[in-house]
Chains A and B, each alone.
Chain A
Amino acid sequence: MRISLNWLADYVSLEATAEEITHAVTFLGFEVEGVTSAGAPRLDQVVVGEVLARDKHPNADKLSVCQVDIGPAGGVKTIVCGAQNYKVGDRVPVALPGAVLPGNFTIKQSKIRGQLSDGMMCSRRELGMGDDHEGLLILADRPELGRPINDVLPAGDTILDIEITPNRPDCLSHLGIARELAAWFGKALKYPEIHHPTIAALPPGGAAAQTGFPPASSPVSLSVSVTAPADCPLYIAVAITGVTIAPSPPWLQDRLKAVGLRPVNNVVDVTNFVLLERGQPLHAFDASKLAGGRIVVRRAANGETITTLDGREHKLDDRMLVVADASRPAVVAGIMGGVDSGVGPGTRDIVLECAVFDPLSVRRTSRSLGLSSDSSYRFERGVDSRMAPEAAARALDLIVQLAGGRVAGPVHVVGGEAPSRREIALTPAFVRERLGFDIPDADMKAALESLELRIVREETHAGTGPSWTVSIPSWRDDLDRPIDLVEEILRLHGTEKIPPGRVSAPGLVGEDDPVVRFNRAAAAYLVGHDFNECVNTTLRSAHETAKWVSETAAQELALSNPFAEDQSHLRPTLIMGLLENLRLNQSRGVPASRLCEVGRIFIEHNGQNFECASAAFVIGDDGARRWLQRAPADFYEAKHHVAALAACAGVSLGDAPLDSIPGPYFGWQEGHSALAGDMDRGWYARFGLLNLGIVRDLGVAGAVHAGIFAILPERLQSAAARRRYSDFSLFPPALRDIALVVDAAEPAAAVGAALARAARKAVGGAFALESVSVFDVYRGPNLPEGRKSLAYSLVFRAADRTLTDEEVNAAFGRLQEDLLRSTTFQIRK
Chain B
Amino acid sequence: MQDALNAILAKAAAEFPALASRPEFEAAKARFVGPNGELTAVLKRMGSVPKEERPAAGRMVNEAKARLQAVLDASLARIEAAAEAARLGPAVDPTLPSPDPGPGKYHPLTLVREEMCRIMHKVGFSVADGPEVETEFYCFDALNTPPEHTARDPQDTFYFPPSARFGNVARKNPGEKYLLRTHTSSVQIRTMLKGPPPIRIVSPGRAYRRDTTDATHSACFHQLECLSVDRNVTVRDLKALIDHVFSSLLGPDTKIRFRPHYFGYTEPSFEVDLSARHLPKVNKEWIEIGGCGMVDPSVFASVGYDPAVWTGYAFGMGLERLAMLLYAVDDIRYFYQNDLRFLGQFS
Interface on A for B, CB 8 Å cutoff?
26-29, 31, 165-168, 359-360, 363, 367, 433-437, 481, 483-484, 486-487, 490-491, 495-496, 498-513, 515-516, 520, 523, 526-539, 556, 558-564, 567, 570, 581, 584-585, 588, 590-596, 599-600, 602, 605, 607-611, 622, 626-630, 679, 712-714
Assembled-state Cα–Cα distance A506/B158 (Å)? 39
Q: Is B220 an interface residue (CB 8 A)?
A: yes
Q: Which residue of A lies closest to B134 (CB)?
A: A611
The answer on a CB contact under 8 Å between B99 and A491 is no
Assembled-state Cα–Cα distance A353/B277 (Å)? 53
The answer on a CB contact under 8 Å between B104 and A533 is yes
Assembled-state Cα–Cα distance A269/B131 (Å)? 53
- Interface size bucket, B side? 35 or more
The answer on a CB contact under 8 Å between B104 and A490 is no
The answer on a CB contact under 8 Å between A590 and B235 is no
The answer on a CB contact under 8 Å between A713 and B128 is no
Given the known A-B contacts A496-B257, A500-B239, are A536 and B336 also in contact in the complex, defined by CB atoms under 8 Å?
A: yes
Given the known A-B contacts A481-B297, A602-B133, A611-B132, are A508 and B106 also in contact in the complex, defined by CB atoms under 8 Å?
A: no
* B296: chain A residues within 8 A (beta carbon): 483
Q: Is B211 an interface residue (CB 8 A)?
A: yes
The answer on a CB contact under 8 Å between A560 and B107 is no
Q: Is B262 an interface residue (CB 8 A)?
A: yes
Name B183-219 residues within 8 Å CB distance of A.
Answer: 198-201, 206, 208, 210-213, 218-219
The answer on a CB contact under 8 Å between B219 and A567 is yes
Given the known A-B contacts A360-B148, A523-B110, are A538 and B220 also in contact in the complex, defined by CB atoms under 8 Å?
A: yes
Given contacts A537-B219, A563-B211, 18 further A-B contacts (CB under 8 A): A166-B262, A363-B148, A363-B150, A437-B235, A483-B268, A502-B240, A516-B128, A523-B106, A527-B105, A527-B106, A528-B104, A558-B160, A558-B161, A594-B102, A595-B338, A626-B99, A628-B99, A630-B100
Say which residue of B100, B164, B237 sits within 8 Å of A501 (CB atoms).
Answer: B237
The answer on a CB contact under 8 Å between A503 and B104 is no
Name B205-261 residues within 8 Å CB distance of A.
Answer: 206, 208, 210-213, 218-220, 232, 234-237, 239-241, 243-244, 257-261
Q: Convert B150-192 into 0s and 1s, putting 1 for each residue whose CB lies closer than 8 angstroms to a CB of A.
A: 1001110011110011111100000000001000000000000
* A560: chain B residues within 8 A (beta carbon): 154, 159-161, 164
Q: Which residue of B lies closest to A537 (CB)?
A: B220
The answer on a CB contact under 8 Å between A563 and B219 is yes
Interface on B for A, CB 8 Å cutoff?
96-97, 99-107, 109-110, 114, 117, 121-129, 131-133, 148, 150, 153-155, 158-161, 164-169, 180, 198-201, 206, 208, 210-213, 218-220, 232, 234-237, 239-241, 243-244, 257-262, 267-271, 294, 296-297, 311, 335-341, 343-344
Give A508 Cβ to nearest chain B Cβ, in Å.
5
Given the known A-B contacts A501-B236, A563-B211, are A590 and B340 also in contact in the complex, defined by CB atoms under 8 Å?
A: yes
Q: Which residue of B lies closest to A613 (CB)?
A: B129
* A520: chain B residues within 8 A (beta carbon): 114
Q: Which residue of B lies closest to A26 (CB)?
A: B259
* A538: chain B residues within 8 A (beta carbon): 132, 180, 206, 208, 220
Interface centre among A499, A539, A563 (most CB of B within 10 A): A563
* A510: chain B residues within 8 A (beta carbon): 126, 201
* B270: chain A residues within 8 A (beta carbon): 495
Q: Which residue of A lies closest to B122 (CB)?
A: A505
* A168: chain B residues within 8 A (beta carbon): 262
Given the known A-B contacts A433-B232, A503-B237, are A712 and B168 also in contact in the complex, defined by CB atoms under 8 Å?
A: yes
The answer on a CB contact under 8 Å between A608 and B104 is no
Say which residue of A437, A490, A611 sits within 8 Å of B133 (CB atoms).
Answer: A611
The answer on a CB contact under 8 Å between B235 and A434 is yes
The answer on a CB contact under 8 Å between A531 and B259 is no
Assembled-state Cα–Cα distance A498/B344 (Å)? 41
Given the known A-B contacts A483-B267, A532-B340, A590-B339, are A599 and B168 also in contact in the complex, defined by CB atoms under 8 Å?
A: no
* A487: chain B residues within 8 A (beta carbon): 260, 267-269
Give A331 Cβ to nearest chain B Cβ, in Å.
23
The answer on a CB contact under 8 Å between A629 and B99 is yes
The answer on a CB contact under 8 Å between A515 and B129 is yes
Say which residue of A27, A567, A622 sits within 8 Å of B260 (CB atoms).
Answer: A27
* A592: chain B residues within 8 A (beta carbon): 340
* A27: chain B residues within 8 A (beta carbon): 259-260
Assembled-state Cα–Cα distance A436/B233 (Å)? 8
* B210: chain A residues within 8 A (beta carbon): 561, 563
The answer on a CB contact under 8 Å between A611 and B243 is no
* A505: chain B residues within 8 A (beta carbon): 122-124
The answer on a CB contact under 8 Å between B219 and A532 is no
**Sorted from nearest, which 3 A-B pairs have the closest CB atoms?**
A436-B234, A436-B236, A530-B102
The answer on a CB contact under 8 Å between A561 and B159 is yes
Give B347 Cβ to nearest chain A Cβ, in Å.
8
* A527: chain B residues within 8 A (beta carbon): 103-106
The answer on a CB contact under 8 Å between A498 and B129 is no
* B262: chain A residues within 8 A (beta carbon): 29, 165-168
The answer on a CB contact under 8 Å between B168 and A713 is yes
Assembled-state Cα–Cα distance A503/B123 (Å)? 7
Assembled-state Cα–Cα distance A369/B234 (Å)? 46
Given the known A-B contacts A31-B259, A590-B339, A629-B99, are A516 and B127 also in contact in the complex, defined by CB atoms under 8 Å?
A: yes
The answer on a CB contact under 8 Å between A556 and B268 is no
Given the known A-B contacts A533-B110, A593-B101, are A31 and B219 also in contact in the complex, defined by CB atoms under 8 Å?
A: no
Given the known A-B contacts A165-B262, A434-B311, A501-B239, are A484 and B336 also in contact in the complex, defined by CB atoms under 8 Å?
A: no
Give B154 Cβ to nearest chain A Cβ, in Å.
5
Assembled-state Cα–Cα distance A364/B343 (Å)? 45
* B267: chain A residues within 8 A (beta carbon): 481, 483-484, 486-487
* A26: chain B residues within 8 A (beta carbon): 259
Q: Which residue of B lies closest to A603 (CB)?
A: B167
Q: Which residue of B lies closest to A528 (CB)?
A: B104
Give A631 Cβ to nearest chain B Cβ, in Å.
11
The answer on a CB contact under 8 Å between B101 and A516 is no
* A532: chain B residues within 8 A (beta carbon): 104-105, 338, 340, 343-344
Say which residue of B99, B200, B219, B235 sits within 8 Å of A490 (CB atoms).
Answer: B235
Q: Which residue of B lies closest to A519 (CB)?
A: B129
Say which residue of B125, B131, B260 sits within 8 Å of A491 (CB atoms).
Answer: B260
The answer on a CB contact under 8 Å between B160 and A559 is yes
Assembled-state Cα–Cα distance A630/B303 (Å)? 58
What are 28 inter-chain pairs, A to B, with CB distance below 8 A?
A31-B261, A165-B262, A168-B262, A367-B153, A433-B232, A434-B294, A437-B235, A483-B294, A495-B258, A499-B236, A499-B239, A500-B243, A503-B237, A508-B126, A509-B124, A509-B126, A513-B126, A527-B103, A527-B104, A527-B105, A535-B109, A536-B338, A563-B212, A590-B339, A590-B340, A594-B104, A602-B133, A609-B166
Given the known A-B contacts A483-B294, A535-B107, A584-B338, are A610 and B166 also in contact in the complex, defined by CB atoms under 8 Å?
A: yes
The answer on a CB contact under 8 Å between A535 and B101 is no
Assembled-state Cα–Cα distance A33/B259 (Å)? 14
Q: Which residue of A lies closest to B97 (CB)?
A: A627
Assembled-state Cα–Cα distance A515/B168 (Å)? 14
* A504: chain B residues within 8 A (beta carbon): 237
* A559: chain B residues within 8 A (beta carbon): 158-160, 180
* A508: chain B residues within 8 A (beta carbon): 121, 124-126, 200
Q: Which residue of B lies closest to A359 (CB)?
A: B148
Q: Which residue of B lies closest to A432 (CB)?
A: B234
Give A605 Cβ to nearest chain B Cβ, in Å.
7
* A436: chain B residues within 8 A (beta carbon): 234-237
Give A197 Cβ to nearest chain B Cβ, in Å.
39
Assembled-state Cα–Cα distance A445/B337 (Å)? 55
Assembled-state Cα–Cα distance A202/B237 (Å)? 50
Q: Which residue of B lies closest to A28 (CB)?
A: B260
Given the known A-B contacts A608-B166, A610-B166, A611-B166, are A630 and B129 also in contact in the complex, defined by CB atoms under 8 Å?
A: no
Assembled-state Cα–Cα distance A596/B199 (Å)? 33
* B257: chain A residues within 8 A (beta carbon): 495-496
Assembled-state Cα–Cα distance A501/B243 (Å)? 9
Give A604 Cβ to nearest chain B Cβ, in Å.
9
* A607: chain B residues within 8 A (beta carbon): 165
Give A166 Cβ to nearest chain B Cβ, in Å.
7
